[in-house]
Amino acid sequence: MIISQANADDVAGLARLLWLDTRKEEPGQRSLDAFAAELARWWTANRHSHLAFVARLLRPEIVGMAWVALVPRVPRPGATSRLSADIQSVFVMPDQRGRGIGSALVEAASEHATSLGSARVTVHSGRTAVPMYERLGFESSRQLLQRTASRNMVQTDGS
């Protein structure tokens, strides 16, 4: 297994995995080719803040991916280069699961974020992947809270 940071030549393979991962969840998906073109544009605009790591076996096709979003944090006295990171869109081809590929991808993405100075790496996981993240040292935190988009639509009375 070879884990590497993705580059522009990997965008089509990343699009394929994202397509496979979400095709049942996203209604009204366009064609894979159309999505690959959209991802290529997005990649160009976001390649410095969203890094992808890919897994390959003996062949050149990508069998797994993990993204890390790097978020600059507000500077503080004595800490002017603060950074947070969030693991996103981890996916391994179903026929390759259970071989440690997902773990290796998450480790690579997390270690890279840490090497860039991230104070923490977070992940919002589906239930089935929680044990993997816990094995890799991720812990639940009472201080990390979230608010869903529907709660952001709070009505005000105009006063």
Map out the domains of the chain with their CATH numbers. Answer: 2-146 (3.40.630.30)
Rounded Cα distance between 68 and 44, Å, is: 16
Confidence at 126, pLDDT banded by 50, 70, 90 = confident
Asked if residues 30 and 19 have their Cβ atoms less than 8 Å apart, the reply is no
Q: Which strands sit side by side in the sheet containing 50-56, from one edge to the other?
A: 2-5, 50-56, 62-72, 83-92, 118-123
Mean per-residue pLDDT for 89-93?
Answer: 94
pLDDT of 56 reads 96
Give the three-state DSSP class for 70.
Answer: strand
Decide which of 80 and 89 is more confident: 89
